Structure 1
């Protein structure tokens, strides 16, 4: 189970995974185990990384607290989306994780339009429909900043995201940032509950972090997350 079920082509530097395993009854080859049947996890990481493809790395591993669920125990997920608005495209060294937009973008307009989307709302207009899934989410951060003359980064945080939500939000906001749509348009799309926005390409998006509550609250958080969310206001 993973914390963020990202779309194909999306990157992750802060993914969290949990897996249920059976304790070992004794040493596995040259790998020692403790009295609980747990192997040396630092050495296990080294072993895993020897066999994983080059674009996947296990950074660390530990025994999870009781009740932990990588997906449902999370209280917040953080993404970034990077865009180059240079007319000549994107720096070749950044091409794998940065979208080449090719039109000048106004960070002021991007932030003004994004702020109107914050809160606990029904994001059906920005989610790919899935039977039995709720589209109610709490968007806690949606902010843009210019990193250099041509590179812009969006930071997006929420309790959870539905399928294609971040990319749909970014796709809509980019049309505001380059002036093709008015600042109030994304909020109008949100209220319409009708899917009517461009979906930004996957490669510009990266999952950069996942937040969890204290260990003694993990199980309760998982149960709470599984319950259907309800919006606090009409949206």
Structure 2
């Protein structure tokens, strides 16, 4: 059996998230159906992480085992011919048997996109959160520095506890503007449920002037979800990339 690693991009708008759910359209479901059509065997795919309904990916990583001997070029071309247009395979690679898309991930990087125009763009409705109030991105980035490093992030987790531990390490956090778009990027060794969306909602309160910059550190230390800002809507969230240690990216 070969261990095949796929890198995917998808528009999550019309999916009920990554994970298979009976009777619902999911990214995992359409991918496994396409792989079965190519290899004549239904695989069990494993992703680097489960994206929620409405959340997108620019660099989701998946692995599966197959007896198929197709070269990587055939996996890319054939799967893209079979998949719906809102999912694309960007790369395929044969990996060592021990490679695991979830367990071997060293870090993940997410991007949250905000449409900060006075009037919402109809072309960004599926891929951003419209916030009409002008945002101070410099203040948002300064406030976000309080989150860098290893902390208990339970204040930024919906329905705590969802994991054994809510301690994670944020490796990088940036806030940038490109014309009317504001982009928050967060890279960490792992994420809690709705963690990035809650960070985005919290930083928007700072950027809009409704909270001071130092408040974000207070929220972190409070270790209570009720102290943080709102959970930003799913359509602005993108899984940007997954980093792996000794394995090729």
Q: Distance in 2 between matches of 1:5 and 1:187?
A: 28
User: Is residue 2:144 matched to residue 1:114?
Assistant: yes
Residues 1:2 and 2:51 aligned together: no
Equivalent residue, structure 2, for 1:17: 62
> How far did 1:61 drift?
1.1
Q: Point out the structure with max Rg over C-alpha.
A: 1
TM-score (norm 2): 0.76
Higher relative CO (Cα under 8 Å, sequence separation at least 6) belongs to 1
CA distance in 2, matches of 1:171, 1:184: 15
Alpha carbons 2:59, 2:242 under 8 Å: kept: yes
Gap regions ≥5 residues in structure 1: 25-37, 217-235
- Give the 3-state SS of the residue equivalent to 1:183 in structure 2: coil
Contact 1:4 1:207 in 2 (8 A): no
- Which of 209, 214, 225 matches 1:195? 225
Over the aligned positions, Cα root-mean-square deviation in angstroms equals 1.6
Does the 8 Å contact 2:162/2:193 carry over to 1?
Answer: no
Cα separation, 2, equivalents of 1:202 and 1:169: 13
Call closer, same or farther: CA 1:215–1:100 in 2, change over 3 Å: closer
Aligned to 1:61: 92
For residues 132 and 153 of structure 1, do their structure 2 counterparts lie closer, same or farther at Cα, with a shift above 3 Å needed? closer
- Alignment partners' CA distance in 2, 1:52 and 1:133: 36
Aligned length: 200
Encode CA deviations 1:10-35: one digit per residue, 9 max, x unaligned.
100100001123x24xxxxxxxxxxx
Shift of 1:159: 0.9
Which residue in the other structure is 1:159 paired with? 189
The secondary structure found in structure 1 opposite 2:238 is: strand
User: In the alignment, which residue of structure 1 is the partner of 2:118?
Assistant: 87
Residues 60-113 of structure 1: per-residue CA shift (max 9 Å, x gap): 211112421111111111111111222212x22222212110101001110111
Inter-partner Cα distance in structure 1 for 2:59 and 2:163 = 28
Residue 171 of structure 1: how far off its partner (Å): 0.6
CA distance in 1, matches of 2:155, 2:195: 9
After superposition, give the CA deviation of every residue in 1:179-228 in whole Å (9 maximum; x if it has no partner): 11111122111111111231001111111111111149xxxxxxxxxxxx
Stretches of 4+ moved more than 6 A in 1? none
Q: Aligned partners of 1:97 and 1:131: how far apart in 2?
A: 27
Alpha-carbon separation, structure 1, partners of 2:171 and 2:162: 25
- Return the alpha-carbon distance in structure 1 between the equivalents of residues 59 and 161 of structure 2: 25
